[in-house]
A and B are shown apart, each in its own frame.
Chain A
Amino acid sequence: MREYLLYLGCTTPVRLPSYEAATKAVLSKLGIRLLDFKDVTCCGAQYIESISPRAHIGLGGRILALAESQGKDVLAICGACSGSLKHSKHILDKDKGMRREVNSMLREEGLKYTGNVQVKHLLQVLRDDIGYEHIRKAVTRRYSGVRLAAHYGCHVTRPYDIVKVDDPENPRVIDEIIECIGATAVDYPDKTRCCGGPLLAMDEELAALIGADKIKNVRGVGAEGIVTACVFCDIHLSQIQIGDDEVPESRVPIITLPQLMGLAYGIDKESLGINLNRISPEGILGTLQEGVGQ
């Protein structure tokens, strides 16, 4: 049974625990064992990264070295974290000086980064370790006729040369999985564009405009929900729809990929934290066909 250390990052466990729960539930169903990854720090994405690139690599380096010490690869479900850890690994693998610098800091903890560890994002594990075929076969309740839009998350797919997840201009993994479990994946304008989340702290107004634009595009093609694979995107795309001027029924439900899959695998709503979703995905759930497997 394939094992991964699950790197949660700062935001998921606090702001979107349902994503964490659903991931664990679904992956164990599909034969992937996730181990708690404790004693780690923030990966340094965005903030530390901007102010001290070396500090960023330092943080990432320790997380990776810690994983090495446990002889396991790392699974990150947050787009920013997966991108950041992959970036740190990329630098450490090509820049010997930086590696020496980091290892000197790790020495007293008895840790050492040698490059002998992989960082995967959820989408890679689903496609490469499990495979579409298995994902399809495991289905016990198929969705039918529901039109869903995939949102990948910029840091999940770009820069391709470093993250190596999917075609950055035309990503398919989420769409394929949506189809595997019976729903209909719909394309929409500027699909690969950012949700605006990373700008939230710097300029809430712009962040909202960007998010609203994405919601508009998704609504434009008549999608009944947005499927995410990044905590920031999920939170932001939900958040911007919650507001006085917004009519609840015109809101597009945002649901994480593992939640969507979990339901198709007969996992109960509670364990998937469906009730915690800011915008109720009942409309999507309604299309589940009881007892129809593959």
Chain B
Amino acid sequence: MGMSTHAPTSDFAKEIARAPGGEAIYKCVQCGICTASCVVASVSEKYRPRELIQRILIGMREEVLTSVLPWLCVTCRMCTERCQEDVSPADIFHAVRYVAAREGHIPSVFSHAVDLVLQDGWMLESGYSDFIEDERDDLGLHTDLGWNNQFVRRIKEKYFEGGLTQ
């Protein structure tokens, strides 16, 4: 990687520690058991959870928040189960996503999915075709799924200040 220099600061780590899921970040002793257990890391050279956490710890805020890496975690929590210091990288990356989202750094697939839920109350309104209705019918399943699409409005105005589509 390029060796541009950086001035270490704990501000970003503190910010993450305040976000839900990020509380335990300071506990990380960089043993690497998360990376060694990570299924994504096993197929992707760029994804190294331990290194990402250290970058948070030394305060590389911009780089981390604008990076796609925190969004690649599949939250399988193998790392959570194995971490010997009770750190959950999965939850730390959730905290990072949350902070990134507040500043508008959201991968389109995420914002799109969220928009769907906030609008329909669930994700697959558009995908629920007549064809599938028939399928359910054949299986003896009711075809009216009866989703509630009112409550999400309240959720939307309370938490998404009128939606995400920046």
Interface set of A (CB-CB < 8 Å, partner B): 8, 10-11, 13-15, 17-18, 20-21, 24, 36, 38-42, 44, 46-55, 58-59, 62, 105, 109, 154-155, 158-160, 168-169, 190, 192-194, 196-199, 201-203, 206, 209-210, 213, 270-271, 273, 276
Using an 8 Å CB-CB cutoff, how does the interface string of B40-77 with A read, 1 for contact, 0 for none?
10111000000000000000000000001001101111
With a cutoff of 8 Å between Cβ atoms, the chain A residues found around residue B68 in the complex are: 202
With a cutoff of 8 Å between Cβ atoms, the chain A residues found around residue B123 in the complex are: 10-11, 42, 47
Q: In the complex, A46 Cα to B72 Cα: how many Å?
A: 11
Among A58, A198, A276, point to the contact of B75 (Cβ < 8 A). A198
How far is the CB of B121 from the nearest CB of chain A, in Å?
Answer: 4
Listed by A's residue number, 5 A-B pairs whose Cβ atoms lie within 8 Å are A41-B147, A42-B123, A53-B20, A210-B74, A273-B139
Evaluate contact between A202 and B109: CB separation under 8 angstroms: yes
Evaluate contact between B127 and A14: CB separation under 8 angstroms: yes
Question: Which chain B residue shows the least CB distance to A51?
Answer: B101
Interface-centre pick from A17, A20, A42, A194 (highest chain B CB count, 10 A): A42
With A158-B78, A213-B43: A14-B110 Cβ-Cβ less than 8 Å? no
With a cutoff of 8 Å between Cβ atoms, the chain A residues found around residue B132 in the complex are: 14, 17
Q: In the complex, A257 Cα to B138 Cα: how many Å?
A: 20
Among B81, B97, B141, B159, point to the contact of A160 (Cβ < 8 A). B81
Evaluate contact between B122 and A58: CB separation under 8 angstroms: no
With a cutoff of 8 Å between Cβ atoms, the chain A residues found around residue B76 in the complex are: 154-155, 158, 193-194, 198
Question: Which chain B residue shows the least CB distance to A101?
Answer: B158
Question: Which chain B residue shows the least CB distance to A194?
Answer: B76
Q: A58-B158, A105-B154, A198-B76 are in contact. List 14 more A-B contacts (CB 8 A).
A: A14-B127, A41-B148, A42-B121, A47-B110, A50-B98, A51-B111, A54-B20, A58-B159, A59-B152, A158-B80, A193-B76, A193-B78, A197-B74, A199-B40
Q: Number of B interface residues, CB 8 Å?
A: 58
Among A8, A54, A158, point to the contact of B77 (Cβ < 8 A). A158
Is B11 an interface position by the 8 A CB rule? Answer: no
Among B43, B106, B146, point to the contact of A206 (Cβ < 8 A). B43
Question: Which chain B residue shows the least CB distance to A11?
Answer: B124
Evaluate contact between A59 and B77: CB separation under 8 angstroms: no
Among A52, A62, A193, A203, point to the contact of B160 (Cβ < 8 A). A52
Is B88 an interface position by the 8 A CB rule? Answer: yes
Evaluate contact between A51 and B98: CB separation under 8 angstroms: yes
Question: Which chain B residue shows the least CB distance to A209?
Answer: B43
With A17-B136, A193-B78, A271-B139: A40-B148 Cβ-Cβ less than 8 Å? yes
